[in-house]
Structure 1
């Protein structure tokens, strides 16, 4: 497993990951966060439990699995890049500043998204609504 990046390196890598994914015709970026529990320093003598640091991860979701709907599986398999995984650890004291910058980077990377089409399922309803019937 690759070591965790510093916060600045993480933002740089996340920006490039979001921009390369938005340039493709399809793709996903998965962002996860969870508390990083420090199991090495667990002692029952410590009266004040400290808040754990936060582990932030980002990946492009590329599993290198061939697309079963595409007949060119052999070509795609040879040309597909490997999965990109980046992560960083944020201390509790730095969370507020980190999340401000994190939100800016994520918003900037989401400019290429298409708005969701919600019109498809509206006409069909269970039991019917009575509209349009004579």
Structure 2
């Protein structure tokens, strides 16, 4: 497993990942957050009231074959998939507010390249189906 990045390295890598994904016709970026509870070594040690947070970002690529993508059971020999991009950082409890401020800015800037979802088509189908059923 790759070591965790510093905050600045994480933000620059996240910006690159969001830009690359928005330039493609399709793609996803998964952002996860998890409390990082460190095991205690001493019996008398008390866990901190606010644990560190593990922040991860990954793209949608996976090395597992998609069974729907090809007729030969999902094994495609002609096309090799790009490796999955995984980045992570650990944020201490006292740095959370400043980190989340910058994190929100990077995420908002990365979302500017996304296309707005077309909801009219779905509503028209539901409305037409309801009228036919009556």
Please confirm whether the aligned pair reaches a TM-score higher than 0.5, indicating the same fold: yes
Aligned to 2:11: 11
Distance 1:34 1:95 in 2: 13
What is the correspondence of 1:1-134 to structure 2 with a 5 Å cutoff?
1-41=1-41, 43-44=43-44, 46=46, 49-67=48-66, 68-69=68-69, 73-76=76-79, 78=80, 80-123=81-124, 124-125=126-127, 128=130
Residues 13 and 127 of structure 1: CA distance in aligned 2, closer, same or farther (over 3 Å) = closer
Q: Deviations over 1:34-57 (max 9, x none)?
A: 1001113474553x7431000000
**TM-score, normalised via structure 1 length:** 0.81
Return 5+ residue gaps in structure 2 as ranges: none
- The 3-state SS of whatever aligns with 2:38 is coil
Q: Deviations over 1:15-68 (max 9, x none)?
A: 11111111111100000001001113474553x743100000000020134453
**TM-score, normalised via structure 2 length:** 0.81
Q: Deviations over 1:77-108 (max 9, x none)?
A: x2x21000000000111111100100111111
What count of residue pairs does the alignment treat as equivalent?
A: 128
Is the helix fraction higher in 1 or 2?
2
Distance 2:77 2:51 in 1: 45
Distance 2:83 2:129 in 1: 48
Return 5+ residue gaps in structure 1 as ranges: none
- The 3-state SS of whatever aligns with 1:25 is coil
